[in-house]
Structure 1
Amino acid sequence: MCYFSKSRKAQPKTFSKVELELLAKNLFGNALQVMVGCGAEPTIHPDFIYLVELAKRHNVPHVGIVTNGQLLSKNDLLTLSSAGLNELTLSVHATQKETYENFMVGAKWEKLIGLLENIKILRDDGKIAFSIRMNFTANPDNIQELEQFFDVFGDYPINTLQVRPIMEIGGAYFKPFSCESISLYNSVIESLFTTCKKHGITLLANTQNPSSQQKSNPVIAQTYKYVSPQVVVDNNFRWQTETYRQFLKRTGWHKAMLKSIFSIRLSNSSTDLAERYGGQYDVL
């Protein structure tokens, strides 16, 4: 599972192959980036690789997949690279087997390590070109394990380490940072910065607001858009019969966006999933 949940119900509806093609046709022309799997595990869908192909066919500059990696085979890695994948993001959330399997319900530590070994072999052989990002969702119960990140994963070809403080997004697990654990978080991030720099790895981390209670920002809200079988971008977007450009024109988006830029007022905590995933990170 992509986020901490012991009893999360599976979504009953998924996009068909025809619907994916329609999404790509009407939406991807405006996309600078497509991230597959934010909020759900993409590899359980039979056409997840086809979606990468569609995005590249529509000239999306950056296409990534966010996954726990449990179902990815060596052949999948090769096919994804051939399809044009730019980045593979692996959710780990732990550096010890017991903690990993506790948070990543149903996942096996050995499969994660096996996947990383396959990535290393294929990268060393020059058979895959996409970059690797490790996503570590930090919380008070795993923050100390982050200190051992490079002891466990240091031999693998990681390009980016992303540390995201846990957010309340509906899973069974949510334990916010206390003043004491925030202090530890900041200390760990400072140490990681030095080690990442030594390894030539980009560190993305929230250093100003580890509690992750970010304010809603209208500019960010209009930049990051979430697509699911339940809602495609916006309830008012007729994605099956109009393009995203037509939607923007019909709803007066450009005028509203300019107004937002020149009169930004940050509201209370954001509830939009895409906005929250696309929130503040410092590049260290």
Structure 2
Amino acid sequence: MCYFSDEQKRKSLRGTLKYEEIEAIAGSLFHRALKLQVGCGAEPTLHKDLVKIIALGKRYNVPYVSLTTNGNLLTKELLAAAVKNGLDELTLSAHGFTRETYEYLMTNGKFDLFCKLLANVTEIKKQYPQFKLRINYTINNNNIEELSRIWEVVGDELDILQLRPIQKIGESEYRDFDLTNIHARYDAVLVPLIEECRRRHITCLAPNKQNIIVLEENEAEDNSIEKITYCYVSPQECWQDDFDYRTETFESYAAAHMGRKLLWKVFGRKARRKADVTRKMNYNIK
């Protein structure tokens, strides 16, 4: 259902970083990282060195390592090895809590495998109670009513729930981006869920009601801080277009390219008030 499920987008996501390349990237960037998010735009469980990559994060003392996946290829043995080697959080993409909806919206996904993985998480958390489970649920008109089934399907092991109203961020195979009904059902569906998360001591990340219906394009907003805060790495790119992880570190690149420019952008002009509602959506911890 996400735009990475679009056939044209899938064709552009080619190539795999070899472990040796990831080691070099780790040497240049990981020591600066507060969080290592493995998997964003591709399925990380396809990488044969997944556990070694997670261990690499801990070797460089990254405080928090999270894995984002649909989970269909994540066996109990692989997950247990990942947690043993330092995985702090499993972030599962979920787009429905019935077989029909889940398999309709999750390209090539199998609901039985999703449920089996949740059972495996329960078992692994008995040995590693600090290990966290996050569910990322993209809300649309096909699945909003299924949120009431979350406890029946997910059980008691959920630590973090992120509720994400659907947005058009690519050429998706999914076409229904109307948020009117989601806004109308907010009080009946989302509010009780948020309250139940609070009762269960589960962190719930959700937009306020007004954020759902009013999404502002904010193209003029400067994103310089964002560019140096988040380092996206893929076979096609690594952080900045002209950054060479083989010969540079974060510090050497920043010293050469970012210092004065960034300081001027931050302090050299009157800061604009951040909009309450943006295309990127503002989430609140409930």
TM-score (norm 2): 0.86
- 1:226 aligned partner, one-letter code: Y
CA distance in 1, matches of 2:212, 2:140: 9
Displacement of 1:234 after TM fit? 1.4
CA distance in 2, matches of 1:139, 1:163: 10
2:104 to 79, 102, 105: 102
**Count of residues in Structure 1 that have an aligned counterpart in Structure 2:** 274
- 1:182 aligned partner, one-letter code: H
CA distance in 2, matches of 1:84, 1:166: 32
Displacement of 1:87 after TM fit? 0.7
- 2:169 aligned partner, one-letter code: I
User: For residue 51 of structure 1, what is the aligned residue in structure 2?
Assistant: 53
Displacement of 1:104 after TM fit? 0.8
Q: Which consecutive unaligned segments of at least 5 residues does structure 1 have?
A: 271-275
Displacement of 1:217 after TM fit? 5.3
User: For residue 273 of structure 1, what is the aligned residue in structure 2?
Assistant: none
User: For residue 206 of structure 2, what is the aligned residue in structure 1?
Assistant: 205
CA distance in 2, matches of 1:176, 1:141: 11
TM-score (norm 1): 0.87
Contact 1:94 1:145 in 2 (8 A): yes
SS in 2 for 1:106: coil
Contact 1:131 1:158 in 2 (8 A): yes
Displacement of 1:91 after TM fit? 0.6
Displacement of 1:257 after TM fit? 3.0
SS in 2 for 1:54: helix
Taking a change above 3 Å as real, the CA distance of residues 3 and 93 of structure 1, as seen in their structure-2 partners, is farther
Taking a change above 3 Å as real, the CA distance of residues 103 and 180 of structure 1, as seen in their structure-2 partners, is closer
User: For residue 261 of structure 2, what is the aligned residue in structure 1?
Assistant: 256
Give the % identical residues. Answer: 35
- 2:167 aligned partner, one-letter code: M
CA distance in 1, matches of 2:278, 2:82: 36
Taking a change above 3 Å as real, the CA distance of residues 254 and 99 of structure 1, as seen in their structure-2 partners, is same
Contact 1:217 1:264 in 2 (8 A): no
Is the deviation greater in 68-77 or in 258-267? 258-267
RMSD: 2.4
Matched, 1:240 2:253: no
User: For residue 39 of structure 1, what is the aligned residue in structure 2?
Assistant: 41
Contact 1:87 1:130 in 2 (8 A): yes
Contact 1:166 1:174 in 2 (8 A): no
Displacement of 1:191 after TM fit? 1.4
Displacement of 1:143 after TM fit? 1.5
CA deviation string 1:173-223 (max 9, x = no partner): 243233333222454221111110121111011225225556355233432
Q: Which consecutive unaligned segments of at least 5 residues does structure 2 have?
A: none
CA distance in 2, matches of 1:167, 1:49: 32
CA distance in 2, matches of 1:42, 1:174: 26
CA distance in 1, matches of 2:130, 2:175: 36
Matched, 1:61 2:63: yes
Displacement of 1:120 after TM fit? 0.9
Contact 1:89 1:135 in 2 (8 A): yes
Matched, 1:5 2:5: yes
User: For residue 132 of structure 1, what is the aligned residue in structure 2?
Assistant: 133
CA distance in 2, matches of 1:140, 1:247: 45
CA distance in 2, matches of 1:39, 1:68: 11
Displacement of 1:141 after TM fit? 2.0
SS in 2 for 1:78: helix
Taking a change above 3 Å as real, the CA distance of residues 164 and 181 of structure 1, as seen in their structure-2 partners, is closer
User: For residue 190 of structure 1, what is the aligned residue in structure 2?
Assistant: 191
CA distance in 1, matches of 2:271, 2:41: 28
User: For residue 158 of structure 2, what is the aligned residue in structure 1?
Assistant: 158
Taking a change above 3 Å as real, the CA distance of residues 247 and 186 of structure 1, as seen in their structure-2 partners, is farther
CA distance in 2, matches of 1:232, 1:174: 31
CA distance in 2, matches of 1:122, 1:133: 15
Displacement of 1:269 after TM fit? 6.8
CA distance in 1, matches of 2:4, 2:22: 27
CA distance in 2, matches of 1:58, 1:88: 20
